[in-house]
Amino acid sequence: MKSFGVSTHPIDLAAFRKQLQDRSCGAYVQFDGWVRDHNEGQQVLRLEYEIYEPLAVKEGNRIITEAVERFAVSNACAIHRSGLMGLSEVAVVVGVSSPHRGEAFDACRYIIDQAKVRLPIWKKEYYANGNAEWVNCQRCAHAV
């Protein structure tokens, strides 16, 4: 099982985990990204993710394929939420199963790190003071 998806509804983590079950695998690593109540000194009330789905899915699947080939894991999947979300909701989930744990940890890390810098996904934070801002990932920005 190798796939990247986008969901407008809460992610069913039990179903997600189940699709990665594999009798030839002895290790399963899962990363959940949660909606946090603060960022850079501001109190966050909720988040909105905007995703350009056609390209996010295409590029997301490329990242999954790279991880499977590079780390020789058996299965890898990820789902990213889009739309409005409350605190503590799961914004993104990455799961990897493989015969042994080392490559599963490495592949999981690779997928979430690449997803953060390569996918057309934007995050708007809504603050307790009434303001809302698109969050810039400065590390990923390149001046034209």
Residue 139 Cα distances to 18, 38, 69, 116, 131, angstroms: 35, 19, 26, 10, 23
Binding mask 73-112 toward other proteins (x if CB under 8 A, else -) reads -------x----------xx-------------------x
> N- to C-terminal Cα distance for the chain?
38
Does 5 bind other proteins (CB under 8 A)? Our answer is no
Q: Residue 136 burial by CB count (10 A; 0-12/13-18/19+): exposed, middle or buried?
A: exposed
Q: How far is the CB of 52 from other proteins (least distance, A)?
A: 6
Does 14 bind other proteins (CB under 8 A)? Our answer is no
Q: Are 4 and 66 in contact (CB under 8 A)?
A: no
Q: Are 60 and 78 in contact (CB under 8 A)?
A: yes
Count of residues engaged in binding other proteins, rule: CB under 8 A: 33
Binding mask 31-70 toward other proteins (x if CB under 8 A, else -) reads --x---------------xxxx-xx--xx-----------
User: Which residues of this protein are in contact with other proteins, per CB under 8 A?
Assistant: 33, 49-52, 54-55, 58-59, 80, 91-92, 112, 115-124, 134-138, 140-144
